[in-house]
Amino acid sequence: MKLRVLVTLKSGVLDPQGEAIRHALGALGFDGVNGVRQGKMIELDLAEEDPAQAEARAREMCEKLLANTVIESYTIEPA
């Protein structure tokens, strides 16, 4: 089963990469961009066929490795 994990910084956590992207967009003429938050997307191809079990495994992976849950949030969705 294929799943997509989206990891983003929690609200209130400074995002220097997002700010650099916002600044670069302005320099390229893309006015009106008030904010950018940068994150990461991870695709998992799991042997698990049961959707509930696959999501549980992915959640465990996020909690242990894929996301720093102190400063990051994550969502899991079908890929």
Q: Mean pLDDT across the stretch 9-27?
A: 97
Query: What is the domain-level CATH number for residue 63?
Result: 3.30.1280.10
pLDDT on residue 60:
98
Both tokens of 1, joined, read 């089963």
Give the C-alpha separation, 71 to 65, whole Å. Answer: 13
The tally of domains found in the chain comes to 1
70 close to 62: Cβ distance less than 8 angstroms: no
DSSP labels, 62-76: IIIII--TTTEEEEE
For 26-70, write each residue's pLDDT tens digit: 999 999 999 999 999 999 999 999 999 999 999 999 999 999 999
Q: Which domain holds residue 34?
A: 2-78
How many residues are listed for the chain in this entry?
79
pLDDT at 40: 98
Calpha distance 73→50 (Å, rounded): 24
The encoded tokens of residue 27 equal 């320099």
